[in-house]
Structure 1
Amino acid sequence: EARHSIERRAAENVNYDLLADEASDDEAQNDADGGNDADEEIEEDAVITTNPTNYTVTVGKSVRLECKASPSEGVVVQWTRKNTKYFIGTLNEVEQNLKTYTGQDRFFIVANSTDLLIKNVQPEDSGAYKCEILQMNGVSIEHNVVLLESPKIIRFFASDNGHVPEGRDLLLTCEVSGSPPPQILWSWEGNQGNQRLTEKDGEFTANSVFIRNVKPENSGKYYCYVLNNVGSSQAEVQVQVLRKPRVHVHRTIVNSDLNVEAVLECSIHDEPAAHIRWYKDGRRIEDSSRQYSVSTHGQHSNLTVIPTSDLDFGTFTCEAENNLGKHNRSIDLVQSPVVEDFGNDGPKLFWTIHSHQPLEEIELQLREIDGEGEWRTLRVPLPEGRRHEYSIVYSLEDADIDAGKYEITVKVKNEKNWSEHSNPAIVDIEAQPQYIRPASVYLPGAGHSIRPHIVLIPLIYLLVRL
């Protein structure tokens, strides 16, 4: 290396102006001496026989940049990049390490040449490299190194660390590297599976997606895919849209009786987690209350009530609150019957009754949908026995109802009061075939008449026509 440094300094100290002056003096002396120009040997300048080239190389590989001079012996060559010297000197029988120039143990001059060898090519090595012959009439060429690098995702992140309040904007950013510059594709995995993001989903820039006014359905896993002709890569980030809590109650009306335990249930949906409170007719129920028992586990809360007087019945409210807002739902604790799950299968109706008090009446109310018919009441037989829950099945085929489409509700009365009307069911009652009993048919010679049990109207009509 020391020898190389000396050679380099020697080459740097060459004074080409002085050489030119000495050459002029020699010519003048030759003229004075009557010399013959035809007998002189004129030294030719070296030339570079290599053409400028674009070298394509993958990161981590090696690339050799050629620079052939003719003649090559004693020719001083200089390699530069961005005005930084990488080498200055002549060819050598052994490989020359350029660490003293570059500070890196990756650049070399190939033995017996002036070619520049770059080992373990890095992204920062891309660009133009100039090879120049240092002489009076300097010549040079310039090579370009184009790197091929498989895409890498440096960082993929979402605004607000992926926890975005409902109504706010979401920014997804995917910082990438690669050569050629990779293409970025986006997708989202929600309730409908993995779907490609398009212009209708957000606003796209070079390496980001901007989604305005996010909603809970925007929650899910987002993917950044990067690819070029060398390779591909992907990364993912989880996004959760936060919103004020939503309270869900299992039953909006609960039947109970004096000294009968009733459990009122509510659950909280959405994130972040919420604080749960209970109220009775607008007044907060303290956790230390002896009259009520509150049991909360995570996002589920139960309020246990044992009424001791009629005043203990009323409206109970479950309220949930987080840093984005609050929400509540109410449950009525009553002594009147509660009707649930009212529905039908054709003309067959079914429903469930909850009542700790004895039942007194069950009524169906119906009216035709097509027309301006008035409500009509049908009484349903009471179930036998006494229970707290009754499953009722009643067929309208047992009732005297004309064919048509009807809207039907049910309500139930116990010794305390009537229940609320159930949600309506729509029942389509079809016309039934009409049957008649024909007159007796007497056969001559027979000792009795034959009386058919059932004959359809179309058959009678056919007989009359015959």
Structure 2
Amino acid sequence: MGFSGYLAAPGKCLVVLGLKLLFLVPAGVPARSGDSVLKDNITVRQGDSAVLKCNVDSKVSRVAWLNRTTILFAGNEKWSLDPRVVLVENTAVTEYSIRILNVDVHDEGPYVCSILTNKKPKSTKVHLIEITPKILDITVNEGSSVSLMCLAIGRPEANIIWKHHSPRAIPTFGFVDEPTHLEVTGITKEQSGSYECIASNDISNPDIRTVQVTVNYPPYISKARGTGTAVGQKGVLQCEASAVPRADFEWYKEDRRLFNGLNGVRIENQGRQSLLVFFNVSEEDYGNYTCVAMNNMGITNASIILYGETCSISDLFFHISTVHLILFYLAFYGHYQYFKKVESESESEWVLLPWFENRFTN
């Protein structure tokens, strides 16, 4: 099976996955010596090794391998400067073969095994074809569109299915025109991961091609935790952000940026997490701190409070959310009576709310 290529267009990523079920000359078929010129095709994937074989006999006096007009080997002597081209050792006496390591696109073309026997030259040709480029993993920004195309050639005709593997979620996609195309419009971070194109028929095992799609997105802070610490003790503020690329962190107190090792604090960045560590908390350390997370996609921040282990009710009111504050008043001041103002065309009056009366005045 062969593989096609990769193409990117502005504003839209197009990845072409090509699958070919080939029933041509098998790779590595030896070229035969003789008066006539034989031409064998060898198919190899980019990055693999290719072995070019040439049969010789005891009457051969000289032998060489050439690529177009360039001599690669003359007998056992290497002429090529390419370290990837080596002479295959430990072969039969009647075999003169070379190996090309890590095959690339520029290696494609004709190779000639030139044989001199009884002063009568002979040659055989091996044509290296179907060099298939490696699949390139892609990186796109969140909101971009990605098109995946998988081309399969075979007899019987190949069936194609797609699979997406992601630790985040299993999204649903729509095919465009036919199963060979997979369109992801407005891609999200949940749609990152590996995409597999699986081609199969009744002749051979399924051929699978995989491309990794990375989605860049701006940071969002998933955890911002303060702490209550007594004077003289160690205090830690924690900030955690999810982002691709990974977020960089900065810490501030009011408008003043904090630096690692200064003013008795240490900043510890551990992957997605940043810690602001106080070794010996003082009264001056108490207060509001800001964690800033940023990458080339965006920036966000969260406020985190370092407070003493004992604090007044007014301190709690200052720090808890509005919803919790309302619930606090309802719980502790339930003996109050609650009214609403009712207005009509002639007069207005305040009416006691029975639900509050029944709920909080027991």
Shorter chain as normaliser: what TM range? 0.3 to 0.5
| Greater length-normalized contact order (CA 8 Å, ≥ 6 residues apart) | 2
